[in-house]
């Protein structure tokens, strides 16, 4: 019955002025013009700039951006007014906010990468771990690109704990090394050599694990 959101309607007192901000400053394309309105293609939902005599209700729109400060400065240069400067939030986001000429709020945001969090997330462990084993895995995981680290953390922890259950042992440093290697796809295990060496571990001693299917 319902197919999703097709448009967000933004009431504006000057369609062409609003279009310059959305089209010329933000770089979005015009999609359609009609009597008293202009549709802007934002990439996932259309922004309908609707001509009105006076804006009675102001709205807030969140825009995902690559670099918050650069986008913020571009909008200020394009005539927007600052509401608040770029900041980091407890929700692990970077955000800033401006007002357009009609007083609508445009929030610029991006999710912080794990390297920007300021803390190291705990391992999703369930079994017993020795302190040196946990510390070793955290250091090894720091070599994984932040975009993939959460997934790697979950998968590697799961594999290591399975090895510990099979060995009927707490998770030890040795089990961490083996699980760290075998949890990676065989074709990409060559990337683990340098992180292991950085921890004083000789990869040659774990040839069997590197060849594990």
Q: In this predicted model, what pLDDT tens digit does every residue of 82-108 receive, in sequence order?
A: 999 999 999 999 999 999 999 999 999
Question: What would the mean pLDDT of 33-58 be, rounded to a whole number?
Answer: 94
- Listing DSSP states for 89-137 in one string gives -TTSEEEEEEE-TT--EEEEEEEPPGGGSSSPPPP---S-B-HHHHHHH
Please identify, in words, the CATH class of the domain defined by 7-112: alpha beta
Entry field: residues in the chain: 213
Mean pLDDT of the chain: 94
Q: Specify the pLDDT at position 44.
A: 87
User: Is pLDDT at 136 greater than 90 in this prediction?
Assistant: yes
Domain locations in the chain as residue ranges: 7-112, 131-210
pLDDT digits (tens, 9 = 90+) for 177-198: 999 999 999 999 999 999 999 9
Residue 190 is predicted with a pLDDT of 93
According to the model, what pLDDT value does residue 1 have? Answer: 85
pLDDT at 71: 97
What's residue 86's pLDDT? 97
In the numeric block, the tokens 């295990």 are attached to 189
Chain segment 52-72, per-residue pLDDT in tens: 999 999 999 999 999 999 999
């Amino acid at each position: 019955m319902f197919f999703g959101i097709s448009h967000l309607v933004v009431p504006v007192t000057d369609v062409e002025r609003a279009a310059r901000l959305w089209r010329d400053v933000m770089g979005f394309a015009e999609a359609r013009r009609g009597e008293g309105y202009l549709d802007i293609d934002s990439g996932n939902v259309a922004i309908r700039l609707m001509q009105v005599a006076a804006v009675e209700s102001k709205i807030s729109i969140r825009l995902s951006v690559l670099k918050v400060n650069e986008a913020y400065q571009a909008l200020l240069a394009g005539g927007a007014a600052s509401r608040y400067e770029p900041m980091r939030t407890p929700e692990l986001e970077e955000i800033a906010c401006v007002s357009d000429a009609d007083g609508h709020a445009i929030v610029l945001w991006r999710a912080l990468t794990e390297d920007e969090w300021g803390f190291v997330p705990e391992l999703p462990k369930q079994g017993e771990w020795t302190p040196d084993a946990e510390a070793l895995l955290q250091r090894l995981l720091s070599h994984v690109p932040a975009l993939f680290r959460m997934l790697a953390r979950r998968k590697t922890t799961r594999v290591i704990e399975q090895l510990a259950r099979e060995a009927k042992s707490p998770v030890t440093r040795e089990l961490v090394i083996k699980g760290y290697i075998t949890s990676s796809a065989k074709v990409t295990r060559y990337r683990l050599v340098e992180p292991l060496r950085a921890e004083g571990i000789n990869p040659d001693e774990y040839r069997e694990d590197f060849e594990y299917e």
